[in-house]
Amino acid sequence: MVYFCSQMTPFHPLNSPYPSPERFTYPFCYEPHPLCIAAADELKRHLATEPAIGTDARNGKMFGVLVVSDETGRRGFLAAYSGLLAGRNDWPYFVPPVFDAQQPDGYFKQKEREISRLAESGDAAHRSLSQSLQRWLFHQYRMLNALGEEKDLVEIWHDYHSERVRHQFPLPPGGSGDCCAPKLLQYAYRHRLHPLAMAEFWMGRSPRGEIRYEGQFYPACRGKCLPILTFMLRGLDVDPNPLALRTPLASLCIVYDEPAFAVVDKPAGLLSVPGKDQLPSVVSLLRERWPEAECIRPAHRLDMDTSGLLVVAKTEAAYAALQAQFVRHEVTKRYEALLTPSDEGRGTAGECNTTHLPKASQTIRLPLRPDPLDRPRQVVDWQHGKTAVTEYAFTDDNRVSLWPHTGRTHQLRVHCAHPEGLGRPIVGDALYGHSGDRLCLHAAELTLRHPADGHELHFVSPPPF
């Protein structure tokens, strides 16, 4: 039975004039529904009245809301937080964990203490025992979906991934099942509540290595939640992936063309190379344009949302010669970006270090690595990250030229947004800043040597923003 009268039960009434959405949220790319925004506002007000958990939330925590209806059609919302909050996973305002492994006298905690003692004594057996305990724990997480099916996390992991991935990673990542979205959906299914819309948002300070903004909504993480939510959303009418609905682009602007290679001006929203979703790409469009070419191979990459100059080889010999220049950092690339105004870019991700904007060229050095649980997001990691160096110079208060001296994934986007970089995300950067009509990052200039005779070539493309 679901009770509606107490604010200390997981179901919270939601009085809002907005109609319910026709389909459920696609959790990995979405704009929050107005009902979710209203629910998030209610949750924030609750956190402000609870000092014990509100203070810990200020240290940085992901929260989630799930708008639901009961069997009579009455709407309300459920709330959740990822992991632990103030050391607990059982605060009464929020949905409970899928499985409570935090009981001091429970099997998991007893075995965990035993394994810790073995590790401290130098007994190598603690490693295999730890993996066995982790497997046992994942078997306790028996997840539901809208069809009434039930599987544990190990089954879900193995069903989702290929044999190659399962061989390398036989178990899900630690903490799987404890993120907001799985907890919210599990409670709804258990209590016969119909999910209508869902959203997750960040509260408090940003971790040093990541870029999170107070009150901003974020997609579900892919490393932990993609396999789980793929299973849990079965039986719901879910919005399609917005990226798959983008209008295919019929043509590319060809800046330079000869038999060995070409330079194109890639629009924002177009992949450089084909991806898993079979979306149009520079390669697929150019194969149609030049079917007689020996090959169509970009010598470097631009992010899907980045526009600008891209070099594409049409012969294997040209590809080898061009890519070698990029590998040896002999190609000069200048990007132009439009940054959020300084008073908008700070948030709780850190203080902007460009209060007095420099006009002369300066350098950012922040090492980067992928976040394995939330690809393609990159994080700053001073211990394990790879060297990433960007030279920059402001042309006015909000526009900056960027010269990458290394080619790390999302390097320019992170170096602009991170508080130890410019502390100001690029306009339209939904991953490291705030969503917009487009990512205002453009590959504006390119200087390289001809792959055959070595003479210098210089190309320019004015930014479209």
Task: Please give the pLDDT value at position 346.
Answer: 45
Q: What is the pLDDT of residues 79-131, one digit of tens each?
A: 999 999 999 999 999 999 999 999 999 999 999 999 999 999 988 888 899 99
Query: Would you say residue 359 has pLDDT above 90?
Result: no
Query: Would you say residue 402 has pLDDT above 80?
Result: yes
Determine contact, residues 76/12, Cβ cutoff 8 Å: yes
Report the pLDDT averaged over residues 126-148: 96
Determine contact, residues 336/442, Cβ cutoff 8 Å: yes
Please pick, among 56, 303, 305, 374, the residue that the annotation labels catalytic: 303
Three-state SS for 41?
A: helix
Query: Would you say residue 378 has pLDDT above 60?
Result: yes
Q: What is the pLDDT of residues 423-443, one digit of tens each?
A: 999 999 999 999 899 999 999
Task: Please give the pLDDT value at position 250.
Answer: 52
Q: What is the pLDDT of residues 269-280, one digit of tens each?
A: 899 999 877 788
Q: What is the pLDDT of residues 242-262, one digit of tens each?
A: 877 765 555 689 999 999 999
**Nearest CA among 446, 194, 423, 166 for reference residue 330:** 446
Residues 6+ apart with CB under 8 A from 11: 2, 3, 4, 68, 70, 76, 77, 78, 191, 193
Output 386 or 1, whichever has higher pLDDT.
386
What is the residue-averaged pLDDT of the chain? 91
Work out the percent of the chain whose per-residue pLDDT is above 90: 83
Query: Would you say residue 4 has pLDDT above 90?
Result: no
Q: What is the pLDDT of residues 194-213, one digit of tens each?
A: 999 999 999 999 998 999 99
Q: What is the pLDDT of residues 307-350, one digit of tens each?
A: 999 999 999 999 999 999 999 999 999 999 999 998 654 443 43
Task: Please give the pLDDT value at position 358.
Answer: 44
Instruction: Give how far the C-alpha of residue 397 lies from the chain's centroid of Cα atoms, to the nearest Å.
Output: 28
Query: Would you say residue 356 has pLDDT above 50?
Result: no
Task: Please give the pLDDT value at position 117.
Answer: 93
Determine contact, residues 194/69, Cβ cutoff 8 Å: yes
Query: Would you say residue 375 has pLDDT above 70?
Result: yes
Determine contact, residues 46/85, Cβ cutoff 8 Å: no
Q: What is the DSSP string of 174-214?
A: TTTT-SHHHHHHHHHHHTTPEEEEEEEEEESPPPSSS---T
Q: What are the phi and psi torsion angles at 288 (to 5°)?
A: -70, -35
Q: Can you tell me the distance from the alpha carbon of 45 to that of 49, in angstroms, rounded to the nearest whole number?
A: 7
Task: Please give the pLDDT value at position 343.
Answer: 66
Least trusted range by pLDDT, from 3-7, 187-191, 237-241, 361-365: 3-7
Task: Please give the pLDDT value at position 409.
Answer: 95
Q: What are the phi and psi torsion angles at 120 (to 5°)?
A: -65, -30
Percentage helix, strand, coil for the chain under 3-state DSSP, each rounded to 5: 25, 25, 50
Q: Can you tell me the distance from the alpha carbon of 89 to that of 99, in angstroms, rounded to the nearest whole number?
A: 10
Given the DSSP bridges, would you call strands 307-313 and 441-449 parallel, antiparallel or unpaired?
parallel
Task: Please give the pLDDT value at position 9.
Answer: 76
Residues 6+ apart with CB under 8 A from 122: none
Query: Cα angle vertex 292, ends 290, 298, to 5°?
Result: 55
Task: Please give the pLDDT value at position 352.
Answer: 37
Task: Please give the pLDDT value at position 234.
Answer: 98
Residues 6+ apart with CB under 8 A from 265: 252, 253, 254, 255, 307, 308, 309, 310, 461
Determine contact, residues 412/335, Cβ cutoff 8 Å: yes
Amino acid residing at 343: D
Given the DSSP bridges, would you call strands 332-338 and 362-365 parallel, antiparallel or unpaired?
unpaired
Determine contact, residues 363/389, Cβ cutoff 8 Å: yes
Query: Would you say residue 7 has pLDDT above 60?
Result: no
Output 352 or 372, whichever has higher pLDDT.
372
Strands, DSSP E only, in 121-186? 142-144, 150-152
Catalytic status, residue 429? no
